[in-house]
């Protein structure tokens, strides 16, 4: 089989647009759709075909990639796409969704006659633009050859977690990974806020960490966004990370766990959104540290 694929990308926000551009650079034919057409139209200059509806976007596609807000949005858009789906096409589901969403989406794939592959990604704007995401995938072996050139175009590596995408192994691992992401991002904001309140120069804090086991590159990245006032454009927005935090908290509670840190950061993200920072980077929760 040739490595070139016809790929429909449904959802061209921060991540979807970057993935579409990398697919084009790799030589794939790319058709795109976004609920807000203005977010998809710039991709025409890169060579993508901008479709007016999900059904038009998926017409003739070998692979359909969904990168939308949540499970409900994915189900809605894929149902809209149904008239254009090619029987036997592979649906590469990259949206971060809840544990309970995955079996329902897999059932929808069966209903529509397409092969379902879970493929949430780990990474933010910069690795997405560089094609260096880590793809966390689950799906049948027969589909892997079909999606391999697509995954290679958007990611540095793929971690396969199982053969039954309906079991949700990739989604569960993605939520665990994102629990770490939000933990570190929250720590960056709180550390800077505390340092300032105590009159400690943040550089001295990082000097203590420098080169030791407590030093974390991601912590420095998020701290720099705050210190340099570079919260827009977001690498991982308050609105999206807030949705993911709620999914993590819900999954934990359903299994009898109290993740106090995740619950607290979820609340901080809600406060940041209430401050009008929904589209800023998640590090903007720094501004919620001040006492009311």
Beta bridge partners of 136: 159
Task: Provide the 3-class DSSP secondary structure of residue 191.
Answer: helix
By the 8 A CB rule, do 280 and 233 touch? no
Q: Please report the pLDDT score of residue 211 as a whole number.
A: 93
Q: Please report the pLDDT score of residue 95 as a whole number.
A: 98
Cis check for the bond before 233: say yes or no (omega within 30 of 0).
Answer: yes
By the 8 A CB rule, do 59 and 33 touch? no
Residues 6+ away with beta carbon under 8 Å from 131: 22, 25, 153, 154, 155, 156
Please state the rounded mean pLDDT for residues 112-119. Answer: 98
By the 8 A CB rule, do 74 and 100 touch? no
Q: Please report the pLDDT score of residue 276 as a whole number.
A: 97
What is the C-alpha separation between 18 and 123, in angstroms, rounded?
12
**Confidence band of 125 (pLDDT split at 50, 70, 90):** very high
By the 8 A CB rule, do 128 and 94 touch? no
Q: Please report the pLDDT score of residue 150 as a whole number.
A: 98
pLDDT in tens, 141-183: 999 999 999 999 999 999 999 999 999 999 999 999 999 999 9
What is the C-alpha separation between 121 and 76, in angstroms, rounded?
21
User: In whole numbers, what is the pLDDT of the chain averaged over residues?
Assistant: 96
Q: Give the pTM.
A: 0.94
Q: Please report the pLDDT score of residue 291 as a whole number.
A: 73
Confidence check: pLDDT of 290 > 90: no
**Confidence band of 1 (pLDDT split at 50, 70, 90):** low
CB atoms closer than 10 angstroms to residue 122: 18
What is the C-alpha separation between 156 and 117, in angstroms, rounded?
18
Please state the rounded mean pLDDT for residues 93-112. Answer: 97
């Amino acid at each position: 089989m040739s490595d070139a694929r016809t790929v429909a990308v449904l959802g061209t926000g921060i991540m979807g647009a970057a993935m579409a551009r990398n697919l084009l650079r790799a030589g794939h034919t790319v058709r795109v759709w976004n609920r807000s057409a203005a977010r998809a139209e710039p991709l025409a200059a890169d060579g993508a075909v901008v479709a007016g509806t999900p059904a038009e976007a998926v017409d003739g596609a070998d692979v359909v990639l969904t990168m939308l807000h949540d499970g409900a949005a994915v189900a809605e858009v894929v149902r809209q796409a149904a008239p254009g789906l090619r029987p036997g096409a592979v649906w590469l589901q990259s949206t971060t969704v809840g544990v309970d969403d995955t079996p329902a989406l897999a059932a929808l794939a069966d209903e529509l006659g397409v092969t379902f592959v879970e493929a949430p990604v780990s990474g933010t704007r910069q690795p997405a633009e560089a094609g260096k995401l880590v793809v966390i995938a689950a799906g049948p072996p027969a589909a892997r050859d079909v999606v391999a050139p697509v995954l290679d175009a958007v990611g540095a590596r793929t971690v396969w977690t199982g053969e039954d995408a309906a079991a949700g192994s990739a989604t569960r691992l993605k939520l665990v990974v994102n629990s770490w992401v939000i933990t570190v991002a929250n720590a960056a904001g709180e550390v800077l806020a505390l340092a300032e309140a105590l009159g400690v120069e943040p550089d001295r804090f990082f000097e203590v960490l420098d080169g030791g086991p407590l030093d974390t590159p991601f912590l420095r990245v998020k701290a720099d966004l705050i210190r340099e006032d570079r919260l827009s454009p977001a690498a991982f927005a308050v609105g999206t990370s807030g949705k993911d935090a709620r999914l993590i908290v819900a999954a934990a509670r359903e299994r009898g766990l109290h993740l106090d840190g995740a619950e607290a950061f979820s609340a901080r993200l809600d406060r940041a959104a209430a401050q009008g920072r929904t589209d800023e980077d998640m590090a903007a929760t720094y501004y919620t540290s001040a006492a009311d």
